[in-house]
């Protein structure tokens, strides 16, 4: 059965008083092909299991049976490896897990996540992120606008932002990325200058995803706030 993994969870970072966000994030663990039951147990406890056979697979909890959405950070782990196919496992020891193939391009990065998470026991760990003060995700972004964004720009008196969009197929792109080293053109001193009308992709981006931690690591040398 194919699982729909579109999520729409608004994360309002807010600006003003520094905001610390506590996230229970899944830990990446590796398992041999003979240990699928243990891998599934890890996934159902909230972790991300990587089953290493000739092909590598990601297993995460598929969520409640009546729910079409996998848990948020599982969904984003699948996005992090840019998997274009995923499915709920409907039989065998991994029943109730969502499975996605990990392509060769992603193995090195996935191994880094597995190695990083060896320091933490269990299937999940709590991490505290200083989201308001960070803005690291604004350095490496590909923001695609939807119709709601377009309407918000217009209603917010910022139709001028639409003049700068480019198109790729049916997608309308807001050119936020100047170079790999420089952030979104709308980020100044770690503050979003179009915060009130910022696109949905910026609003939806969840704290504690691999994409968040990778952005932080690229910018600060560590995925975690100092002292965490």
Which residues lie near ligand SF4 (CB under 6 A)? 129, 131, 134-138, 141, 143, 176, 184, 186-187, 192, 194, 198, 202, 205, 207, 212, 215-216
- CA-CA distance, 55 to 90, in Å (whole number)? 20
CA gap 205, 209 in Å, rounded: 8
The partner residues of 28 in beta bridges, in order of sequence, read 48
Nearest distance in Å: CB 172, ligand SF4 = 14
Q: How far apart are CA 39 and CA 100, in angstroms?
A: 14
Residue 134 C-beta: closest distance to ligand SF4, Å: 3
Among 7, 70, 67, residue whose Cα is nearest residue 200: 7
For ligand SF4, the closer of residues 111 and 132 by Cβ is 132
- 5 or 192, CB closer to ligand SF4? 192
What minimum distance in Å lies between the beta carbon of 145 and ligand SF4? 11
Question: Among residues 100 and 187, whose Cβ is nearest to ligand SF4?
Answer: 187
- Specify the residue, 110 or 194, whose C-beta has the smaller distance to ligand SF4: 194
CB of 144 to ligand SF4, least distance (A): 12
For 166, residues 6+ apart whose C-beta sits below 8 A from its C-beta are 172, 173, 175
The whole-angstrom separation of Cα 51 and Cα 171 is 35
Report CA-CA distances (Å) from 151 to 35, 155, 170: 50, 6, 17
CB of 57 to ligand SF4, least distance (A): 27
Q: Which residue is nearest to ligand SF4 (CB)?
A: 134
Of the pair 57, 215, the CB lying nearest ligand SF4 is at: 215
């Amino acid at each position: 059965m194919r699982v729909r993994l579109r999520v729409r969870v608004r994360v309002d970072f807010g600006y003003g008083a520094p905001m610390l966000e506590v996230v229970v994030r899944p830990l990446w663990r590796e398992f041999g092909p003979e240990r699928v039951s243990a891998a599934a147990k890890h996934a159902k406890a909230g972790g991300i299991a990587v089953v290493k056979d000739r092909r590598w697979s990601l297993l995460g909890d598929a969520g409640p049976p009546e729910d079409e959405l996998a848990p948020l950070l599982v969904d984003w782990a699948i996005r992090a490896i840019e998997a274009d196919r995923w499915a709920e496992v409907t039989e065998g020891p991994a029943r109730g897990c969502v499975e996605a193939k990990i392509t060769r391009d992603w193995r090195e990065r996935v191994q880094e996540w597995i190695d990083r998470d060896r320091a933490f026991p269990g299937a999940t760990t709590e991490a505290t992120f200083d989201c308001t003060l960070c803005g690291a995700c604004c350095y490496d972004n590909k923001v695609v606008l939807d119709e709601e964004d377009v309407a918000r720009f217009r209603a917010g008196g910022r139709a001028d932002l639409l003049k700068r969009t480019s198109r790729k197929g049916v997608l309308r792109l807001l050119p936020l990325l100047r170079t790999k080293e420089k952030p979104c053109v709308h980020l100044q001193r770690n503050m979003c200058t179009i915060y009130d009308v910022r696109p949905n992709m910026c609003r939806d981006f969840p704290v504690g995803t691999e994409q968040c931690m990778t952005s932080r690591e690229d910018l600060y040398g560590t995925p975690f706030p100092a002292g965490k």
